[in-house]
Structure 1
Amino acid sequence: MPRFYGRGQWDPKLISLQITCMQCSHYLALGVLLAVCHGQHLSLDQFFSYELHAIESVDGIKTSFAHIFTGFASAIFLCYFVERAKKCLDFGVTLYLIDLIICWTYKGFPASWSWWIVHGIALVLTVVLGEYLCSRRELEEIPMLDLFTRRNLNSPRKKSTQMD
């Protein structure tokens, strides 16, 4: 189904639904990756605690790995939920700003430098890869013939191609 990107209009319902979908899919992907990395030993601290991003331990490396690779998944979600390359920066920063606020309310302001590095890398991956994927999707050709005509199965044009 071809998409037309006309003038962007202010639609608060759509924007809030897109933000909600992005947050939910981000934490779902993060949960799956954390479950793959840690197995059954999954806790909310791995989602929101800055103390577990310590690169000195194996568990910290696993947690950081899951957070960084969630950036890849979030870029794909940007491509499906937002669909516009010029909005990827806004939605990516909003995603990680809300994550920062949640982490702040959960355990206090992130004081670990490794937390900032991991989330910074994930943010850059999300925005850059999301813009790339959305721009590729926006540049796809629109099939003009299918947009303006509806072929009848019994049309003479269809029969002439079948006889050849």
Structure 2
Amino acid sequence: MPPRRRKPPRAGALTELPPLKIVRSILLLQLFYYAAASVLILFTTLVLGQKFSLALVLDWHSVRGDTTVGWTIGFLWVVDGFLVVIPILLLIARSKLVPDFALTIHFIHLIITSFYTKSIPTNLLWWSLEAASAALTISLGVWACRYRELQPISFGTAPKKATANGAGEADDNTRGSAGTGRNVDAGPSYEMVSVIRGDENV
């Protein structure tokens, strides 16, 4: 019996994003997520004259609606969701994968916060701000990646210059070497001529 032929992998399968690359991207995104949050919270606490502690980053009790510091830290987490779009654009760069990575970042943050406080967050404000941060990350990430995907690809040819009649005219460095004044990539040119058949012009 001849050996059975393996089915080729479909387009967009794990061959494009191997598991190790996925894990590395998640780790890098998570590190940036916490690094940006730490810098934002540290700067804010220094400005407000408060003492910085790790609990402000990992403790969900720090996000409170009855204090100015609690509202400020909650707002900074939303800003952090905006900043994490930058590494998502650089590392992922595919719009259809943005929701998966964005939700993974916030889910890991939920797990780490729960382990740090030894309790699942029960603060409605914390959940609302995390949902807003995730929605902001997904929407901006998808938009940025789609904008990058839709950019025209240049193959080293010079752009055409528009003439007065609207036709594109090639630059001087794209003209034919024989001095014909015709664009090399434009293909053959055709000209309409009068055909004389008997005594009539057709």
TM-score of the alignment, normalized to the shorter chain, above 0.5: yes
In 2, the alpha carbon distance for the partners of 1:130 and 1:36 equals 26
| Structure 2 alignment gaps of length 5 or more | 1-10, 158-172, 177-202
Residue 8 (structure 1) aligned to one of 12, 17, 22: 12
In 2, the alpha carbon distance for the partners of 1:41 and 1:62 equals 14
In 1, the alpha carbon distance for the partners of 2:26 and 2:82 equals 17
Report sequence identity in percent.
27
TM-score (norm 2): 0.67
Greater RCO (Cα-Cα under 8 Å, separation 6 or more): 1
Alpha-carbon displacement from aligned partner over 1:110-161 (angstroms, at most 9, x marks no partner): 0111110111111101111110111101111110236xxxxxxxxxx58x9x
In 2, the alpha carbon distance for the partners of 1:55 and 1:74 equals 24
Structure 2 counterparts to residues 139-150 of structure 1, below 5 A: 139-145=150-156
Poorly superposed stretches of 4+, deviation over 6 Å: none
Structure 2 counterparts to residues 88-99 of structure 1, below 5 A: 88-99=98-109
Aligned residue in 2 for 1:149: none
Rg comparison, structure with higher value: 2
In 1, the alpha carbon distance for the partners of 2:51 and 2:150 equals 44
Q: Does 1:30 align with 2:37?
A: yes
Residue 68 (structure 1) aligned to one of 73, 78, 81: 78
Deviation of residue 62 (structure 1)? 1.4
Aligned residues: 145
In 2, the alpha carbon distance for the partners of 1:84 and 1:145 equals 24
Aligned residue in 1 for 2:134: 123
**Greater helix share, 1 or 2?**
1
Residue 134 (structure 1) aligned to one of 145, 148, 156: 145
1:47 maps to a residue whose letter is: V
Report if aligned partners of 1:54, 1:114 keep a CA contact under 8 Å in 2: yes
Secondary structure in 1 aligned to 2:96?
helix
In 1, the alpha carbon distance for the partners of 2:131 and 2:44 equals 21
Report if aligned partners of 1:85, 1:131 keep a CA contact under 8 Å in 2: yes
The CA RMSD measured in Å over matched residues stands at 2.0
Q: Does 1:54 align with 2:61?
A: no
In 2, the alpha carbon distance for the partners of 1:88 and 1:42 equals 32
TM-score (norm 1): 0.82
In 2, the alpha carbon distance for the partners of 1:114 and 1:44 equals 20
Aligned residue in 1 for 2:191: none
Secondary structure in 2 aligned to 1:8?
coil
In 1, the alpha carbon distance for the partners of 2:69 and 2:78 equals 14
Aligned residue in 1 for 2:180: none
